Amino acid sequence: MAGTLSMTIGGTVTNVTIDSADSLGSIATKLNASGARVGAAVMFDGTNYRLQVRGLDTGAANAVTFGETGFSLGLTGTPYQTAQDAKLKVDGIDVTRSTNLITGVIPGVSLALTKTTSSAQVRVAGDPTAVQKKLETFVSAYNDIVNTGHSAAGYGTGKASNSLLSGDVAIRTTLDRISSLISTPVAGTTGRYTTLGSVGLGTDRDGKLQFDATKLASALATDPNVVARLFVTDATTGATGAMKSFSSTIDGLVTGDQAPFTGRLAALDALTKQISNDQTSMQLRLDKTEQRLRAQFTQLEITASAYKTQASALSNIGGWNFK
């Protein structure tokens, strides 16, 4: 048995050379190493060994067909399972997909098809608990920013952790701008719920964010669609969503030549370089002063030594006895 085994998948043909010495196991290995989107294995049914080949991609467009030249393994016959697309009707509309996971039919909903059925009812409901948890996470992150800003620049009776940042303008500007977003109406929203404060988010006297879960639950029960527009972009109404507002505001604070943090970092960087230069200059002056003092000290030692020599000579003269 020798020849060529061809596989056609989605219009792409892959040829595998089969040698007379090949076993079913070695043929399976060659198929798996061919680069074609197939998986091959050998199965023993209790009597015979069988070569199984399956496509790795779903859908009718990825059906696998075989051609055998010079030998016959029976792969060109009717497949055990024919590749096909998933088909369903949604509100009377025919829908076709190459996979059993259906997306893009119902906004925000994924349908997982597990069996054939004549009809099925899908009930889509909101999940207030999930929304609450996400907001609690947001509140925690927001308050981390506030706490960090207060610690760095000082707040109330608390002193700044770094004296150079005491009352820092960039930090204060950041806290003021993100705080204003809580009470500012979100673009594209109308009616009763137009601000984050209207659904339970508000700041306390220290600028930290507080969350009223009961107020959020009431808003979701009253008008979930309007509440949703507060947080996410809705192209149909022009709502930009508060989260996008936060993202845009933060980008404006930290990126670009006119951003407060960009200017402040540049100033601090310049100050750091100036301090470094001053330190270098001071060290040079200290080194020169040290050299001058050492030279003076050496000269004083030489002078003192000369005086000691003269004093000793005078002492010897004073001890002579002339008669």
Considering 215, 232, 254, which residue would you say is the last residue of a domain? 254
Euclidean distance between CA atoms 74 and 209, whole angstroms: 70
Provide mean pLDDT across the span 192-210: 90
pLDDT in tens, 2-19: 899 999 998 899 999 999
Q: What stretch of H or E contains 270?
A: helix 260-318
CA distance 61 to 84: 8
The answer to whether residue 156 sits within a structural domain is yes
- Same domain membership, residue 142 and residue 111: no
User: 320 falls in which pLDDT band (50, 70, 90)?
Assistant: low
Mention every residue, 6+ apart, whose C-beta is less than 8 A from residue 126. Answer: 220, 224
Q: pLDDT-based confidence at 1, cuts 50/70/90?
A: low
Cα–Cα distance for residue pair 261/152, rounded to 1 Å: 14
CA distances from 275 to 79, 89, 168, 169, 265 (A): 79, 73, 19, 21, 15
Range with the largest mean pLDDT of 20-29, 69-78, 98-107, 302-311: 20-29
267-282 confidence digits (pLDDT tens): 778 878 888 888 989 9
Check: CB of residue 62 under 8 Å from CB of residue 98.
yes
- Indicate the pLDDT class of residue 139, thresholds 50, 70 and 90: very high
Task: Answer yes or no: do 63 and 108 share one domain.
Answer: no
In this structure, are 209 and 135 located in the same domain?
Answer: yes
> How many domains would you assign to the chain?
4
Do 202 and 133 sit in the same domain of this protein?
Answer: yes
Quick one: pLDDT at residue 125? 66
Whether 229 and 170 map to the same domain: the answer is yes
Cα distance from N-terminal residue to C-terminal residue, the chain: 143
Q: Residue 78: inside a domain, yes or no?
A: no
Q: Does some domain include residue 293?
A: yes
Whether 248 is in a domain gets the answer yes
Better-predicted residue by pLDDT, 177 or 266: 177
Name the pLDDT band for 124 (thresholds 50, 70, 90): low
Q: How confident is the model at residue 263 (pLDDT cuts 50, 70, 90)?
A: confident
Q: Are strands 209-211 and 101-106 parallel, antiparallel or unpaired?
A: unpaired
Range of 100's domain? 85-123
Residues 119 and 132 in one domain: no
Is the distance from CB of 14 to CB of 31 less than 8 angstroms? no
218 and 179 within one domain? yes
Q: Worst-scoring range by mean pLDDT, 98-102, 111-115, 157-161, 238-242?
A: 238-242
Question: Rounded CA gap, 318 and 304, in Å?
Answer: 21
Radius of gyration of the chain (CA): 42
Give the global pTM.
0.51
Average pLDDT score over residue span 157-174: 84
In a domain, 318, yes or no: no
What is the model's pLDDT at position 318?
Answer: 58
Q: How many CA atoms lie within 13 A of 162 on its CB side?
A: 8
From 254, 273, 300, the end of a domain falls on 254
Question: What's the pLDDT score for residue 73?
Answer: 85
In a domain, 193, yes or no: yes
197 shares a domain with 223: yes
Tell me, yes or no, whether 76 lies in a domain. no
The predicted structure's pLDDT at residue 61:
92
Task: List C-alpha distances in Å: 307 to 222, 299, 304.
Answer: 105, 12, 5
Judge whether 147 lies within some domain: yes
Please tell me whether residues 196 and 277 are part of one structural domain: no
In this structure, are 160 and 214 located in the same domain? yes
Verify that 245 and 284 share a domain, yes or no.
no
Angstrom distance (rounded) from CA 105 to CA 262: 45
Burial classification of residue 219, based on how many CB atoms lie within 10 Å of its CB (0-12 exposed, 13-18 middle, 19 or more buried): buried
**According to the model, what pLDDT value does residue 319 have?**
56
Q: Inform me whether the pLDDT recorded for 226 exceeds 60.
A: yes
Average pLDDT over residues 153-182: 85
Q: What are phi and psi of 186, to 5 degrees?
A: -80, 130
210 with 190, same domain: the answer is: yes
- Cβ neighbors of 264 (< 8 A, separation 6 or more) are 168, 169, 170
C-alpha span between 19 and 92 (Å, rounded):
54
